Chain A
Amino acid sequence: EIVLTQSPGTLSLSPGERATLSCRASQSVSSDYVAWYQHKPGQAPRLLIYGASNRDTGIPGRFSASGSGTDFTLTISRLEPEDFAVYYCQQGAGSPVGFTFGPGTRVDIK
């Protein structure tokens, strides 16, 4: 089973700052099956990135992502007030494809 580790667990930043979130897999995964989500309490998780680096429709350009193999990164270039949330990475693997989520990174207002 592939395990995802996200770091840091919590990121305390001010609006306007840059956020860099890391997701590491216990073994190499296909970039086609890597996604990032934003989750706020009481809301549905929101897809940000699929295929490791593709922004979903309507996602602002300040969100970008990259990575391959075991290391993936989500970057928020300049934090807006609405960006403070928990961010999860997800990977898929196997045939049929099975999913795993990382434990999440909380982005807090400093």
Chain B
Amino acid sequence: QVHLQESGPGLVKPSETLSLTCTVSGASINSYYWGWIRQPPGKGLEWIGYIYYSGRTNYNASLRSRVTISVDTSKRQFSLKLLSVTATDTAVYFCARVPAVTDRDYWYFDLWGRGTLVTVSS
């Protein structure tokens, strides 16, 4: 059974860097795309970006200047870094899998972690 688990600090100070890791168990990370999505309190879902196991990435244009997603296949982990955070970055952050390989596949998120709340506050 495939399981995704987010981990990282629950509190980050304004202007600092938010860092989260997603650990994949029960499946190889050496295929498909792996992404991050967030949900601010009381709001809807926002796609942040994704990474292919080879390192290819794509980011939401609204966050591109501040986001980096990386992958460590040996640890079956992928990570999110969001620079210069403000209170508007307070959200539950989810990691998820995209079971696609090419543009001709269906694109959606089939497996999700339970999410981790990150609060930006001094």
* Nearest A residue to B45, CB-CB: A101
Q: List B contacts of A97 (CB < 8 A).
A: 58, 100, 103, 107
A51–B108 CA distance with the chains assembled, in angstroms = 8
Question: At the interface, is chain B mostly helix, strand, loop or mixed?
Answer: loop
Q: How many residues of B contact A (CB 8 A)?
A: 25
Any B CB within 8 A of the CB of A16? no
* A32, A54, A99, A104: most-surrounded residue (chain B CB, <10 A): A99
Closest 3 CB pairs of A and B: A35-B108, A44-B112, A99-B47
Give which listed residue, A42, A56, A99, A103, contacts B107 with CB less than 8 A. A99
CB <8 Å contact, B114 and A95? no
CB <8 Å contact, A44 and B114? yes
CB <8 Å contact, B110 and A56? yes
